[in-house]
Structure formats: structure tokens, C-alpha cells
Amino acid sequence: MVRLRCNWHYVPEEIRYRACVAIPKKDRDRAEYLRDELIRHDSLYFGQDAPQISDAEYDQLKRELIQIEEKYPELASSDSPTLSVGGVVAATFDPVTHRIPMTSLDNAMDESELLAWGERMARSLPGERLQFVCELKIDGLALSIRYEAGKLSQAATRGDGVTGEDVTANVRTINGVPKELPSGAPAVFEVRGEVYMSIAAFEKLRDQKLRENELRVAEGKKPDSVPVNPRNAGAGSLRQKNAQVTAERDLSFWAYQLGEVVGGGDDQFHHQTLDTLRGFGFPVNPAIERVDGIDAVIAYCQKWQEQRHDLPYEIDGVVVKIDDLAQRERLGFTSRAPRWAIAFKFPPEEKNTILNDIQVSIGRTGRATPFAVLEPVFVGGSTVSMATLHNREQVRLKDVRPGDTVVVRKAGDVIPEVVGPVLALRKKGAKQWDFPDFCPCPLNTPLVQADGEADTRCVEPSCPYQRDQRIIHFASRGGMDIEGLGEKTVFALTDAGFVSDFSDLYSLTVEQLLQLDGFAEISATNLVAAISSSKSRPLPKLLTALGVKHLGPTASDSLARAFGSLNAIMNASVEELSSIDGIGEIVATSITNWFAVESNRAIIEKLRDAGVDFGQVIIRDAPQVLKGKAVVVSGTLTRWNRVEAEEAIKDRGGKSPGSVSAKTFALVVGAEPGASKLTKATELKVPILDEDGFAYLLETGELPKQ
């Protein structure tokens, strides 16, 4: 049978039925299942702010249904979720009909799909210059705000694209949204944008919920659910029945489009529209760029995929739009989205999976850390089968249980974590997890939680798990950076009795390594050579590698600069150590306590005998013109690399933190600086210097004269 290629909504039912009979039953059943699932998840996500699957899993279901409907148009229906925006209208708020529908966007899941879209634009507009506006895709809630006679008259969510929810009272509480427009504004001015919750506001809300759960648990009550990400927290905050609650949640807004405009709207390009929005006092994202050609679009997407974690809010992609509004008019719309825009989606950083078990690991300081054993899931660019649960209190307050469906997050190089359970999918009878009383090591010693501490620790110094982790830390990249000495090799060395502490590494021989599985002559020789070469690591690396509690890379660097040698640091008093900038009394006490332990002193002497460089006294010739001043460096400089620039600041007595704050003396920018640092510096009126200004600052300690 030849299938008809036409609009099946107007084909007689009998003919459509006969055509559908020829479609394999498994495809018909699958399409029906997908439609039902998408409608259900739309209701959970948009209507209740309580999703049961991740965005990536939802996109996968929708794309599968689109493929089936394209293959079998007979299965398509006018109410298919593939033709809708996706939202639903909750009964909590009054409905609002959008004068101009709020459409969704088609997605490009990788660069090849984005390139294909660009080629379609070029074919549709042959011979015409194509300019695109690239905008960060904010992970928030789409919003329409209507002004009449210059005053805010109505605000509504996108809803299903045609009808949204009236959230006017709640939107009036958002500081970034103007309540009144300046004179000269059009009679009707509808602004569209995204309401979102910043990462700082989200963490504040989450911490508040965890504190409330502490009280609930103490009273014997069940803990409430804790928001798992800023998007859900922001959407839930906007939909509060009590506008005062919304006001307390510190929501933000970016404007990115116009809807209905009466008595104005003469812009010819989208970038002019954005300028109009700025002129009327609306916040417009500073990272928006106008570029020529699809190659520049791809470069923009690559840049922000790499820098997405530099921002103070969450993004999940880039929205690309044709800049010329006349070209947009000619391109038009499909049944569900504009042809002139597309959303490039970044790889997902959150996925749902099954929590199979909760176990405990023991760190180098004896800290007992619960971790999740997961059904393997691909997220954040790699397959994750284990994730941190931080400490016993977090497990209790988040109320995650073995067997739960949980949200797993992996952002960039950050350790994967379980952010919370999907309570709606919890199986009946799921038992609360109890923290173990004893260390899982062979010694089986009691675990102790000191008063006032969140951490639970194994306090047995001879615990073999602590020993192994101390050696692993010593050899890590942040420590002595011994290439080829990973966890498995450390476990094999200690099991064989070749190494009992990290100083024993320097007496290892090729012959010993050849007795271990996986080693041949070349690999054994290379590892011994790598261990030997680590003897000359700088003093800050050695200090960090020792694994002293509270002593990290920054404090180690400050100590090395101040004292110049390990011997001087070992013999310094708490008062002398704590007088160094960045070394408080807690860190100083921890250092002196560590060196006071006889076994630790013995390890130091073994390192000395092995020829490990303990450092020489450093005499700094540079004038201390930046003492007490914090100078942040961002972007690529031509005269200094990042390390050299930070060293130059520190050599002159200054600090070089990684972020801008009210205490920042100046921000030095090179090529492609971080947008969040620039934005923060502008907001706080922190001086921004180029390379010439930086050179002047290093020489004089003063800002160059304007």
C-alpha cells in the first residue's frame, strides 16, 4: 500500500484507519506510549515543578516520537505533544491568553545539527548576508510582562504557549523588573524573558530548607523535600500563592524579546530590540553577541560550553536567532517553533538513575564519607556509577534511601553528587539508611562524631584505609604529582607490604614493582623514575602533599613564601604561623600539632634522607607595593601567562583570588575574560585594567591615572 503524503487531519477517518493498519503494531503502540508519557511529564514539569525525569531524558522521548511521526504521518494528531510548546496551565492562577503565542524552539543537540540548521537558513535566504544573535539559554521559566500606558499591568507564564498563568503580583516583587517605564514608552509594550534563580540564591534557599529539616527531624517529623536545582526552585518560587514568599526568594530576570507592541516597535534588527529593552531599564544579558555566519555561532557555543560554570547562574545551552527581523518574517514558523531560531543544547549535567546502595569511604584524615553506588548513567560527559553524599547529615536531611530514583549531577570536573530523591517514584517500604557505627576497614574501629562537627571520623591512626588515602593524596596532581601512581597501584603496594607510608615510595625498586600484576620492565622503570623526579617539586607542593588537616594549596603557598623552607615551618610557633596572611589560628594549630607527632617527624626524616627538596629561603627583591591588595586576573595576557601574573602579584605582597568581590582592588583583563568577573566588577565599580595598566600597577602599586 502506498501511504498518502498529505495533511492527515483532513483525511476521512476510514481512509486514515486503513492506512494505519499497515503500520507495525509496535510502532503504533510506541507512539501512543510516548505521547502519554510526554503529556504526563509536561504536567509534572510545567504544572507542578516536580519533574520525574531529567531534561535530557525528556528530550530523548520527544525526539523519538518526532521520528516516528515523520516516518508515519498517519500517526500524527493535532494534539500531539510534538506540536505543542509543552507547558500546561495550573488551576492555582487565573488564565491569561497571550495576544501573540509564546512558541518553543527546536533543539540542536550537537554541532552537526546546528550546522545543518545554518545551512537551511542559507538555502532559504540565498545570497543574503546572515547575521545571528547568540544568547545564553538561561535555565529558568519563560515569562511575558505587559505594560500599558507605561505601567506594569500583567505578567504571565508561557503555559501551553497560548494560555499562561497570571503571576502579576509575584512578578512585582522581582527587583530587576521595572514597575513603570520612562516617558515615551509605547502605549502597549509586552516584554518576554526568563525568570531564574541565581546559584547564590538557590544555595541560600537549599541551606534554609536543610536547616528547617534539621528541626523537623529533631521533632520526629519527616523531612520536607529539598530543591534539587535552581530551575525547579525558581519556578516553584514564582508560583507561590503568597507573593511575599516569592519576594523572599531573590528571583532575577533577563529580557530577550518583545511580544505585542502598540505605538512603537520600529526596530529592524533584533540587536536594536535588545538596545530598546536596555533603554527602558530592563536587564539584558551582557554575554549576548551579534556574529556573522554559522562558524562564528559554533565558536560562541563552544566558548560558553567551556565557561558555563564561570557564571553566577545556570545555563543549559545557547539560543541562536536571525538578527534581521525582515528575514525572520520571510522564514516564518513551523507548526511548533520559529524557523529563524534554534536552541543549541549543552550536554546534560543532571540525570536520573537508581541508587543501588549507600556505602562509606574513609579519607586520609579519617573522615567517613557516605557515597552512592548507582546504576551507571552517562552524565556530564562520562559514565557515573558512584557519587558523593557529603556526610551523614546530608543523607538524613535529603532523605535519600537505597532503591530510590535520584537526581545525579556532574558539572565539569566537579565530583558527581546525588542532589536528591524523586519522591514520587519512591517504592513502598523503602527503608531509611543508617550511618554505620564502625569503620569498614579490617580493624573495625568505632566511628566518632565530635560535638559541633558534621563529619564522622575513624580516629584509629593505624587504619589501613587512612594510610592508603594519605599515599594517594601525596602522589596526586595537587601534591607531588607522581605520574603513573594511581589508586590501584597504591592498593597493590600496601597489600604487598612494600609501602607503609608515603616516604617509602622513594625506596621502591623496579624489582619490587615487577612482582605486582600489570607491571612490565618499561612501566616499572617509568614509575620509579617519576617518583625520583618528584623529589624536586616546589615547597608548596610538598606542604600540600603532607596532608595536614586544613592546609590546602593557597595556605601552603603563603607559608612557603613567608618561611622559605620546611625546616623553618616545622619549628615555627602557632603565633608565628598565624601571623602570615591567610593562615588563621586553626590552620596554624593544625600544622604545629601535625609536626608534633613523632611518627610524622619520622616520615619527614625519611623524606630528607631520600633527598626530597625541603626548599631554600626565598629572598624577594620585588617591592611590596601591593601588600594587602587583592588583584584578580581574567582572560589571556600576552606578556604573562596566568601563573606568572599571579606570581607577580604575590611577589609584591598582594593576593590573587579567583573571583571578584567588594574587596577586589582591581581586575586585570586579557583576551576573552570571564563574563561573570567583568559583570561583577562593573556592578561593584572595581577598576578594570588592561596589560599596560597591570604593568603600571606592578611597578607602583597604584592605579594608572585616567
Supply the residues annotated as catalytic: 137
- Edge-to-edge strand ranges of the sheet holding 341-345: 107-108, 341-345, 315-322, 131-138, 289-292
Cα distances (angstroms) measured from residue 39 to each of 21, 26, 61, 338 = 25, 20, 11, 22
Per DSSP, helices labelled H in 261-370 are: 270-279, 293-307, 325-331
Element (H, E) at 489: helix 487-495
Task: Provide the grid cell at 510.
Answer: 623496579
Cα–Cα dist 83/88, whole Å: 14
CA atoms within 13 A on the CB side of 259: 27
Q: Give the DSSP letter of residue 636.
A: B
Sign of the torsion angle spanned by Cα atoms 75, 79, 85, 90: negative
Q: Nearest Cα to 260, choosing from 190, 193, 357, 312? A: 190
Sequence length of the chain is 706
Beta-carbon contacts of 480 under 8 Å, excluding residues fewer than 6 positions away, are 474, 534, 537, 541, 542, 545
CA atoms within 13 A on the CB side of 118: 23
Q: Nearest Cα to 273, choosing from 321, 340, 335, 334? A: 321
Cα–Cα dist 247/16, whole Å: 53
Three-state secondary structure readout of 584-600: CHHHHHHHHHHHHCHHH
Q: Give the DSSP letter of residue 228.
A: -
| Residue 486 and residue 523 in contact, taking contact as beta carbons nearer than 8 Å | no
Cα–Cα dist 315/343, whole Å: 12
Three-state secondary structure readout of 17-64: HHHHHCCCHHHHHHHHHHHHHHHHHHHHHHHCCCCCCCHHHHHHHHHH
Sign of the torsion angle spanned by Cα atoms 137, 138, 141, 147: negative
Q: Nearest Cα to 397, choosing from 224, 204, 645? A: 224
Phi, psi of 96, rounded to the nearest 5 degrees? -130, 125
Cα distances (angstroms) measured from residue 498 to each of 362, 501, 512 = 21, 10, 8
